[in-house]
């Protein structure tokens, strides 16, 4: 687990193929686009729409989705506070590996706690963690509720559900706020692409 000490026999092996070399080959910088927001706020939908636009530009990308990682990487974790913290810690470490591989990684996680998002930011080079807040009113998220999770949470069938029985701590200074509750998907995706555009080709 994350609290276990690292063995003195474990060393970090540096690669001859560096991040800079990968970025030069890709012709764009790598970065972590961290989409955060309530369940139903459109994080996954938006991250995939942004990825599609970046892919069409020839960028190397990968989406880490909250549901998908729980099929494998985080399949042993539940949804209590400790497991949520560990879930985000693991995703942060994987994101760091993608960053070194020269890839633009887009993460779609509720990640409700500011401390967890800050922890991920702290393990990445300055400026490589871009927090994107998918701002969507709770009532709209509940109206969408494709999985019926809010209904079950309201009925007491799901404990510690973010926005109902567990808090969501909105970013205080996100890189970008996207109004996913009222603005179209195309507009939201374009806002993200426009925001990161200056960073894509910087120092490559």
Catalytic residues: 111
Cβ(129)–Cβ(119) under 8 Å?
no
What is the number of residues in the chain? 204
What strands lie across the sheet with 129-135, from one edge to the other?
61-65, 104-108, 31-36, 129-135, 176-179
The H-or-E segment that residue 84 falls in is helix 81-100
For β-strands 31-36 and 61-65, DSSP reports them as: unpaired
Nearest one of 53, 154, 173, 47 to 106, comparing CA atoms: 47
């Amino acid at each position: 687990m994350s609290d276990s000490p690292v063995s003195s026999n474990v060393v970090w092996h540096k690669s001859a193929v560096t991040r800079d070399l990968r970025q030069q080959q890709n012709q764009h910088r790598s970065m972590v686009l961290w989409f955060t927001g309530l369940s139903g706020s459109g994080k996954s939908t938006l991250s995939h729409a942004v990825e599609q636009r970046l892919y069409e530009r020839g960028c190397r990308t990968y989406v880490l989705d909250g549901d998908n990682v729980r099929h494998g990487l985080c399949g042993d974790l539940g949804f209590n506070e400790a497991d949520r913290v560990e879930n985000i810690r693991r995703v942060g470490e994987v994101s760091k590996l993608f960053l070194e591989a020269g890839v633009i990684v887009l993460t779609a996680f509720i990640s409700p706690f500011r401390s967890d998002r800050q922890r991920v930011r702290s393990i990445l080079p300055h400026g490589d963690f871009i927090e994107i807040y998918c701002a969507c009113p709770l009532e709209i998220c509940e109206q969408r509720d494709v999985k019926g999770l809010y209904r079950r949470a309201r009925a007491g069938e799901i404990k510690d559900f973010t926005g109902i029985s567990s808090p969501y701590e909105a970013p205080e200074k996100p890189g970008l706020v996207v109004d996913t509750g009222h603005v179209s998907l195309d507009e939201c995706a374009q806002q993200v692409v426009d925001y990161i555009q200056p960073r894509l080709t910087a120092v490559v």
